[in-house]
Amino acid sequence: MIGALRGVVESVHEGGCVLDVNGVGYLVACSRKTLDRLTAKEGAQKLLVETRVSQDAITLYGFADAVEREAFRALIEVKTVGPQKALLVLSGLTPAQLAAAIAAKERKKLSEVKGLGAATANRIVDEPAMQKWAVGRATPEADGAGGIAVAAPVAEGGEADAVSALVNLGMKRPEASAAVARAAKRVGRDAALEALITEALKEMAPR
């Protein structure tokens, strides 16, 4: 399997590019954001590659960095998403934005990705594995382990204290983080700690 390629972008087309590696042109499918990064520079460039084999084709998917490739791998595990829709998501949102949107259950933000649709957006947000992937990368613990620090829905101050309080009550950190993020959007990020905790508990209550 091909894990990475280094070459010169020969041509760009809708949904990907041809990467010339020592005279051999590899057709690679990429997100719009990766294509933009490729075309912003001249000379040989490295693409991380995910190789997918089906009954009638071998398809190469290229990524500018490991974070985007990891997000792609998580997305294609969601039922009905698949590689092409995963690239649509990553064309509309950076991995950091995706993690923050999923952790905070911002369905509208995902549904606004061109070509995705509300049903698929809901499926991504509701997928437990995606929630785990997103929140795990949106918390301080993810730093230094391939995490996405800028995606943190619970960044500092009272929100972080509220998460810690919920964890001390026996809640799991990913669920606590997501609940506090949603609560903060309702009551404001400058709300008192007690208010954040109260609203977060309401978020976590069975419906």
Q: What is the mean pLDDT of the chain?
A: 82
Q: Sign of dihedral through CA atoms 102, 105, 106, 107?
A: positive
Q: Which residues pair with 63 in a beta bridge?
A: 48
**pLDDT at residue 192, as a whole number:** 77
What confidence tens digit (pLDDT) does each residue in 73-122 have? 999 999 889 999 999 999 999 888 898 888 888 888 898 998 888 999 99
Per-residue pLDDT at 10 exceeds 90 = yes
> Model pTM?
0.66
Per-residue pLDDT at 188 exceeds 70 = yes
What architecture does CATH give domain 154-204? Orthogonal Bundle (1.10)
Separation of alpha carbons 156 and 104, rounded Å: 16
Per-residue pLDDT at 182 exceeds 60 = yes
Neighbours of 165 (CB within 10 A): 18
Domain-by-domain residue ranges, the chain? 4-63, 66-150, 154-204
Separation of alpha carbons 4 and 10, rounded Å: 17
What confidence tens digit (pLDDT) does each residue in 39-57 have? 888 889 899 999 988 878 8
On whether the CB atoms of residues 104 and 114 are closer than 8 A, the answer is no
pLDDT > 90 in the chain, percent: 37
What confidence tens digit (pLDDT) does each residue in 156-178 have? 456 777 777 777 677 777 777 88
Taking the domain 66-150, which CATH number applies? 1.10.150.20
Burial class (CB in 10 A: 0-12, 13-18, 19+), 81: buried
CATH tag for 4-63 (out of 3.20.20.80, 2.40.50.140, 3.40.50.300, 3.40.640.10): 2.40.50.140
Per-residue pLDDT at 12 exceeds 80 = yes
Per-residue pLDDT at 146 exceeds 90 = no
